[in-house]
């Protein structure tokens, strides 16, 4: 059931990144509902490519190289532990009932609060302290300047709940990044005429200084008159890319182990062919194909429970062909670009699974941006016009994103099944069923949200319930790598380079600097990935909402850890509890 659920909820990432970016750049039709069939075929070929490709990776990552690479798979392992605990006779059933009761109360309470708040937004939802001060203080200018930058409290259950889950470090990093971007750098840019805002109510003399600094419209997304959000977008995106790749490159031992494992597997296969032909092993191939017994993990599945190669291999070949056909017929993408996207999905799937298994972080941001850069170079070399180059850039990146996302999710599912002794062939069938649902559910939900919130697809919208930072990042990178002239303001580009180098250096310091007596301070090191994200999100109240959830959860856990473990806890990836999987 868990496998079906995970597969059914997959492939949503591309619909909060590449696909909305296509509409914001007017590279699709004017209505997503008109493209519904195209969106479904895109998710089908991408989803089942990732599904078929992930199948042989079970044995590779979970059996052959798991010990060598120290692949813990924290979240799948925690999921297996939770499933085992919740099915542990009377005790597990009682705890499961308590958790379901708490979940139901939280859900109903949050839903009622959100619905009622529509009728009392200034009481139950948004608290505009500085707007109030401006009104009460007879329109004092200082208060309106703070209000202009979005400093308020929003009682959003979603982000308060996220704050309870992510903890103090992430919450404070997000809030700190928001303060740096939208309380220090942003106002300094406007003061020095390096970025510009828009008047919201110019006709009202009392509110003539009420400004918007979050526009990403055409008049605000250029070198000459950039909005603070457009100026800040580039340091945020580049910082996230640099931090992602720095964390990736610090796993250099992983790449060495992977190369060894691939070379060993090739030698084993060649030795098998040599033995069939000559009746004896080849000495060199036999020696190089051997793996230390202690590096192997015993597969609990019986041979008859394994997924047969003729189940997934023909499907994989068929999906590669269909990707070329679908992308060519429906989106005018050349076969070469489609195959390049498939190759990028293949490469980034390996990287995504490795990083997820070690750190519990799937580097889809780094993978997506890297695929966009590669595809941007390919379209520039062929001299594509900007609009076509941007379409191919985003669609090719979407295929790579779907493949890597699907592969990492499904290998994680196989890890859960491995720990719970579930038959792989049954899991494979469950994944196939769940992927069918995802192929229709993800596009349908995207169309639904686009209908309910048209601002998602409109860069000229000044206000929107969703900030969609990933969409802005995909769109910005697509424009940058395909434009004849780099659209970034010079000051923003220089700051982005310096800021990202600093973030990369601090990421390296976090890995190697906290040793000995300093090791206890590692948990207090700022999360520069989250800081970069806060630069792309003009809504500063998300940081305060995270802290509203994280701070009480921290003290709750300190004072009553048993209660918090039942009602409020999500396992921390850095916790040593993940290393006691042998207890299963």
Reported as a single tens digit per residue, the pLDDT across 47-98 is 899 899 888 888 878 877 777 666 778 778 878 877 887 776 666 677 778 8
Q: What are phi and psi of 300, to 5 degrees?
A: -75, -15
Model pTM? 0.72
And the tokens for 422? 């579930």
CA dist 521 and 533 (Å) reads 23
Cα-based distances in Å from 236 to 83, 468, 485, 495, 529: 38, 14, 20, 10, 9
Beta bridge partners of 212: 198
Most confident listed range (275-279, 294-298, 433-437, 464-468): 433-437
Range of lowest pLDDT (12-21, 306-315, 498-507, 569-578)? 569-578
Give me the mean pLDDT over the 141-152 stretch.
81
DSSP calls for 320-363? HHHHHHHHHHHH---HHHHHHHHHHHHHHHHHHHHHHHHHS---
Closest CA to 399 of 326, 357, 345, 452: 345
Asked if residue 326 has pLDDT above 90, the reply is yes
Helices (H) and strands (E) in the chain, counts: 25, 4
pLDDT in tens, 477-507: 788 778 777 778 889 889 999 999 999 999 8
What pLDDT score does 345 carry?
Answer: 85
pLDDT, greater one: 131 or 420: 420
CB-hemisphere CA count at 13 Å for 73?
26
> Residue 212: enclosing H or E segment and its boundaries?
strand 211-212
Sign of torsion, CA 75 77 80 81?
negative
pLDDT in tens, 163-213: 887 788 888 998 999 999 999 999 999 889 888 888 777 677 777 777 878
pLDDT in tens, 397-435: 888 888 888 888 888 899 999 989 899 999 999 999 999
Q: How far apart are the first and last CA of the chain?
A: 19
What pLDDT score does 255 carry?
Answer: 67
- Per DSSP, the three-state class of 127 is strand
Extents of the domains making up the chain: 2-255+299-460+467-579
Beta bridge partners of 126: 154
And the tokens for 4? 């079906």
Give me the mean pLDDT over the 433-445 stretch.
92
CA dist 289 and 262 (Å) reads 10
């Amino acid at each position: 059931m868990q496998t079906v659920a995970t597969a059914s909820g997959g492939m949503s990432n591309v619909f909060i990144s590449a696909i909305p970016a296509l509409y914001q750049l007017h590279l699709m039709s004017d209505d997503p509902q008109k493209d519904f069939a195209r969106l479904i075929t895109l998710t089908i070929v991408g989803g089942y490519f990732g599904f078929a490709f992930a199948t042989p990776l079970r044995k590779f990552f979970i059996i052959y190289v798991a010990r060598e690479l120290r692949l813990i798979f924290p979240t799948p392992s925690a999921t297996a532990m939770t499933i085992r605990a919740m099915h542990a006779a009377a005790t597990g059933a009682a705890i499961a009932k308590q958790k379901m009761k708490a979940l139901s109360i939280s859900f109903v309470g949050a839903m009622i609060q959100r619905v009622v708040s529509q009728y009392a937004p200034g009481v139950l939802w948004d608290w505009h302290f500085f707007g109030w001060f401006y009104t009460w203080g007879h329109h004092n200018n200082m208060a309106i300047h703070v209000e202009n930058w979005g400093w308020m409290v929003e009682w959003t259950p979603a982000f308060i709940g996220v704050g309870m889950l992510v903890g103090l470090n992430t919450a404070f990093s997000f809030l700190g990044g928001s303060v740096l971007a939208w309380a220090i750098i942003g106002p300094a840019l406007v003061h020095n005429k390096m970025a510009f805002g828009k008047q919201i109510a110019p006709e009202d003399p009392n509110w003539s200084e009420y400004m918007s600094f979050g526009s990403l419209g055409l008049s605000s997304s250029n070198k000459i008159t950039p909005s603070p959000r457009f100026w800040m977008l580039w340091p945020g995106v580049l910082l996230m890319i640099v931090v992602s790749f720095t964390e990736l490159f610090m796993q250099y031992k992983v790449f060495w182990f992977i190369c060894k494992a691939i070379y060993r597997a090739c030698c084993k296969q060649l030795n098998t062919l040599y033995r069939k032909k000559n009746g004896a092993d080849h000495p060199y191939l036999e020696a190089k194909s051997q793996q230390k017994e202690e590096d192997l993990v015993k597969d609990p599945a019986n041979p008859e429970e394994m997924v047969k190669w003729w189940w997934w291999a023909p499907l994989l070949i068929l999906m590669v062909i269909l990707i070329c056909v679908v992308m060519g017929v429906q989106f005018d993408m050349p076969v070469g670009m489609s195959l390049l996207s498939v190759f990028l999905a293949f490469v980034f799937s390996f990287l995504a699974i490795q990083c997820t298994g070690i750190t519990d972080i799937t580097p889809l941001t780094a993978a997506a941006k890297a695929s966009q850069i590669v595809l941007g170079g390919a379209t520039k070399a062929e001299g594509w016009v900007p609009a076509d180059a941007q379409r191919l850039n985003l669609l090719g990146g979407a295929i790579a994103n779907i493949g890597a996302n699907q592969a990492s999710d499904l290998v994680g599912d196989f890890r859960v099944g491995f720990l719970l002794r579930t038959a792989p062939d049954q899991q494979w069938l469950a994944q196939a069923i769940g992927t069918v649902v995802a192929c229709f559910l993800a596009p349908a939900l995207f169309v639904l949200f686009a209908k309910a919130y048209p601002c998602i697809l409109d860069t000229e919208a000044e206000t929107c319930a969703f900030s969609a930072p990933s969409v802005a990042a995909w769109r910005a990178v697509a424009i940058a790598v395909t434009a004849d002239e780099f659209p970034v303001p010079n000051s923003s580009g220089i700051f982005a380079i310096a800021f990202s180098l600093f973030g990369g250096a601090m990421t390296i310091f976090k890995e190697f600097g906290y040793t000995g007596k300093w090791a206890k301070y590692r948990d207090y090191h700022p999360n520069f990935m989250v800081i970069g994200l806060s630069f792309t999100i003009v809504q500063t109240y998300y940081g305060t909402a995270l802290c509203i959830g994280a701070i009480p959860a921290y003290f709750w856990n300190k004072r009553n850890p048993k209660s918090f473990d039942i009602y409020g806890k999500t396992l921390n990836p850095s916790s040593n509890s993940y290393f006691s999987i042998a207890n299963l």
